[in-house]
Amino acid sequence: MSLEDLEASCLQCQRCDLAKERKHVVVSRGQPSARLMVIGEAPGADEDAQGRPFVGRSGRLLDASLTEVGLDQEDDIYICNLIKCRPPGNRRPTPVELKACRPWLDRQILEVNPEVLLILGATASASLLESRTPISRLRGQWTQWKGRFVMPSFHPSYLLRNPSREPGKPRSLFIADLTQVKDALNGVVSGLTPDSSDR
């Protein structure tokens, strides 16, 4: 299944009850052959209205932060979410919704085949990594998932509630995480060697 076929299938998806209230299915934005995939939790109101992920306030902060560390969104990045339809009231996705939508995410990862995954927020990190470790402890630490570098970090919505850029504050830590991601893409990260057999 190509990414084009995947998007067409997502637009028709009725796997969970979120399909009943959505305005748009929110599949992705960015470069289909990107080396970096950014994975968030779920679409919000702006994303549901426009049909693209991370286009509201959180998205603008994400874009500004990626630009700040020198990551080129035209060439370097593919952005998506765990689930493709907005949960009512921007609540967290339920386990049933996450399970229903997981095949779409797995297919996106397979087709894009990124070297690095940047996972944003507690829900996305817990779901993908199957970990109960708090995001405050996971973030900034490289791990591996199916042969890929994985960097968990804060969700931009959390940074909007904690905007200080002082050293040690979430915004500063987020920029440090993104800098590590850029270094990994530039081949200067050490201590991890993804297993090429999984790629």
Please give the pLDDT value at position 67: 95
Q: What is the pLDDT of residues 154-177, one digit of tens each?
A: 999 999 999 999 999 999 999 999
Q: Is it the case that residue 194 has pLDDT exceeding 60?
A: no
Q: Is it the case that residue 197 has pLDDT exceeding 90?
A: no
Q: Is it the case that residue 136 has pLDDT exceeding 50?
A: yes
Show the domains of the chain with their CATH numbers.
Answer: 3-187 (3.40.470.10)
For residues 183 and 147, the answer to whether their CB atoms sit within 8 Å is no
Q: What is the pTM of this model?
A: 0.92
